[in-house]
Structure 1
């Protein structure tokens, strides 16, 4: 029996000594992980950044829906004024449109209304909404494109005041 145990121990040590360089050293593992981390960072940095686009679309959609609801609740026309780099809800009051707040768009983002770029506003003109919500719930259909770095997201405003979003994947 003692002879068999000795034989087992010798066989085990023979296996360990057969390939002394089997496996990876800690340095090799760390270098490999570093290379993978750098490659992943480079790939992530080259991906298009849709996050600001998604956030801007969400905010505009909410603003359009709130403005539509405001017209229905208050019984007075409401609208959305679009200017270069921002948009503002507006209400019809005292025979003129009055802006009630403003939301800036992310840098480099532009707006197209029904496929047309915004026209430059004259400083002497009162703002006129590109989208008007009727207090009776009738809204002319409008498409609003948010464009940034050739990435276009379309918001379609239906006659019922509902907003549909078409965001390419």
Structure 2
């Protein structure tokens, strides 16, 4: 599960007045491959379906974006049960929707197709093959809306994610 925000105040150009947004819950599910370099250091490539979004308080406009997310994380084990991870995340847009006054519209072809973020987090092994992960994602690029239909606006993502991982 995750909670994400579309921060328009970090967009370009910056809005004349601050845009207040709220965080929206979403889901994340996927697979990963871990390549160990040593007993403490490894590289982890993930293949995830991620839901991200946000809501503009003043207009009530809600956004929901479905992505194929591809984090590439460098993981370091501080203890046998606790580790940290850091790396980039590349997101490819699968579907985008906008909801205004209860009416939902697909805006996939009017939304920028990619997003790049920095990800940092911690992992705690509850059992030998079951871990809990907590991450923060910080958007690096501007994601554009209304790119083809005029009146373009941009935002950057922020996301916190809590997940459980089962390893085989």
One fold, TM greater than 0.5? no
- TM-score (norm: length of structure 2): 0.24
Q: Which has the higher contact order (CA 8 A, sep 6+)?
A: 2
Query: Which structure carries more helix by proportion?
Result: 1
Which has the higher Rg, Structure 1 or Structure 2?
1
- TM-score (norm: length of structure 1): 0.24
Query: Which structure carries more strand by proportion?
Result: 2
